[in-house]
Amino acid sequence: MNKFYLKRRKRKQLLDQGVNLLMLQGYHGTGLQEILDTVSVPKGSFYSYFSTKEDFCAEVIAHYIQSFIEQLETHLQNPEQDALTALQKYFAELIAVVEQSHFKGGCLLGNLMGEIGDTSEICRLALKLAVERYRDILQQGLAKAQQQSTIRSDKSAQQMADLLTDAWQGALLRMKIEKSIEPLQRCCDDLLGDFFKA
């Protein structure tokens, strides 16, 4: 394997491990050494991948949201289902994963918003961009559902995407304290199964 490939693979491993540890322990509870040890990267080498811990966290945020965007796009691009069904199936998958994890973790974005959203400008901007990218994909799905006449048209797709994003983040936080998928189920049922419907 060439050096470029090895470095890219090691960088992805660092980001993957960053997601896991930041999700479970938070930004302040996760040390660089702990991340490096799990991926077998010497401390001095970390700075050939990322300039600071904040920069690393910002990259982790972008890395984390990408998988959710790709998962949602896969559902929305499925020609065998309409957009509203695609959105409902996507969120049902997320709920199943949360239940399997015994309600641990929640959403990395929501966790970091609460912890460092107003103390790290680099991370705040990364979080803002991640939320906007995610909201934009939801908006595309809701706009497609409007075209298919399954979603109400008296509100804009962006308004509904913002509401769904905000409600989902709040439901994830409540899920953590209730140790139940009920807040998540209510969010989806009330919005995608009722309020948004045509």
Q: Is 197 helix (H, G, I), strand (E, B) or coil?
A: strand
Instruction: Convert the pLDDT of each residue in 103-114 to its tens digit.
Output: 887 899 999 999
Q: Which CATH superfamily is domain 53-195 in?
A: Tetracycline Repressor, domain 2 (1.10.357.10)
Tokens of residue 53, six digits:
């811990």
Largest CA distance in the chain: 57
Position 1 confidence tier, pLDDT thresholds 50, 70, 90: low
Identify whether the C-beta of residue 26 lies closer than 8 Å to the C-beta of residue 110.
no
* DSSP state string for 39-57: HT--HHHHTTT-SSHHHHH
Q: Where are the domains of the chain?
A: 53-195
* DSSP state string for 115-142: HHTTT-HHHHHHHHHHHHHHHHHHHHHH
Mean pLDDT of 153-168: 98
Identify whether the C-beta of residue 27 lies closer than 8 Å to the C-beta of residue 116.
yes
Instruction: Report the candidate in 120, 123, 160 with the shortest Cα–Cα distance to residue 139.
Output: 160
Instruction: Convert the pLDDT of each residue in 57-99 to its tens digit.
Output: 999 999 999 999 999 999 999 999 999 999 999 999 999 999 9
CA-to-CA distance for 61 and 111, rounded, in angstroms?
11
Instruction: Report the candidate in 137, 122, 136, 133 with the shortest Cα–Cα distance to residue 59.
Output: 122
| End-to-end CA separation in angstroms for the chain | 54
Res 42: pLDDT: 84
How many percent of the chain have pLDDT more than 70?
Answer: 99
Identify whether the C-beta of residue 35 lies closer than 8 Å to the C-beta of residue 57.
no
Number of Cβ within 10 Å of residue 159's Cβ equals 12
- Residue 122: pLDDT over 90: yes
